[in-house]
Amino acid sequence: MGREIFDEIKDLITEKRNPATMGIDSKSTEEILTLINSEDQRIPEIVRSEIPYIASAVELVVATFKRGGRLFYVGAGTSGRLGVLDASECPPTFGTDPEMVQGMIAGGYGALVRAVEGAEDKREDGGKDLTEQGFTKDDILVGIAASRRTPYVIGAVEKARELGAMTIYLTTTPREEMNIPVDVAICPVVGPEVVMGSTRMKSGTAQKLILNMITTTAMIRLGKVYENMMVDLKMTSQKLKERSKRTVMIVTGADYDEAERVLKLAHGHVKTALVMILAGVDREEALRRLVKSGGFVRKAIEGG
């Protein structure tokens, strides 16, 4: 078994040596930083080349949300932590229910802060953990694995497909090497890492960019952004309370006191406050318009 895994890993692009950094151990601090930065600069264009596939993934995610389904990220190590991070940031950013976007990591939540060695090798645990989370055919799964071969992630993908759910795979290995059946594969090939095999670097950066793109675009498509501002905020902290007021002030031209007054009438909901001011209606009418418009502020203001 060990030799089989060795033979599989040795051919992965994520396990190759980077010719540009062969002498990095002999460089000064500034030279090391320059080498890292030079490699990082290549990542956005590589991600850009995957936009058609990212777009297909977003369409599946939006369709899932519209039918009341949830998005699950599944990964191990860095990939798992990035999925959990993106999921945890959706509620404060877009006012979503914490159940709507969820992150699963091999080894459980303890693995977020301390590596759980060997957890990623347990293929059966991926499907088991997914089942325990109540995953159904109405949900959608995004498997995240730089090397594509992570057994825990593959097990979760297999379980999701067995249940009849849509599946997406995010990996930094070439698409032609993608041998795991999924509905959409996103494959930003960032090349060998600065330090061989350290996929928390370029691979992790590419994954983070793409996860940001998936959820942000999906939330915009669901009406959680007006112009380029977050408008489904929940005023759960002082910072978010003040950001909510500032958003109302910027969009409507209201002063601080007026923004605060209307937000109180709107029960702290920015979308409702915006429609109340810009359409000149009370809270009940603003809510009716938002329901009619599917939650889109622009349509609620214009549509009546």
CB atoms within 10 A of CB 96: 22
Given a contact cutoff of 8 angstroms between Cβ atoms, the answer to whether 53 and 206 are in contact is no
Q: Which of 89, 258, 260, 285 is catalytic?
A: 89
Given a contact cutoff of 8 angstroms between Cβ atoms, the answer to whether 78 and 147 are in contact is no
Tokens read off for 75? 């990964």
Q: Are strands 229-230 and 225-226 parallel, antiparallel or unpaired?
A: antiparallel
Active site residue 4: no
Q: Which residues contact 15 (CB under 8 A, 6 or more apart)?
A: 9, 147, 196, 197
> Nearest 5°: phi and psi at 116?
-105, 95
Active site residue 302: no
Closest CA to 57 of 221, 214, 189, 209: 214
CA-to-CA separations, 298 to 263, 282, 294, 295, 302, in angstroms, rounded: 18, 17, 11, 9, 6
Q: Which of 39, 50, 120, 158 is catalytic?
A: 120
Q: Is 131 helix (H, G, I), strand (E, B) or coil?
A: helix
Catalytic residue list: 89, 120
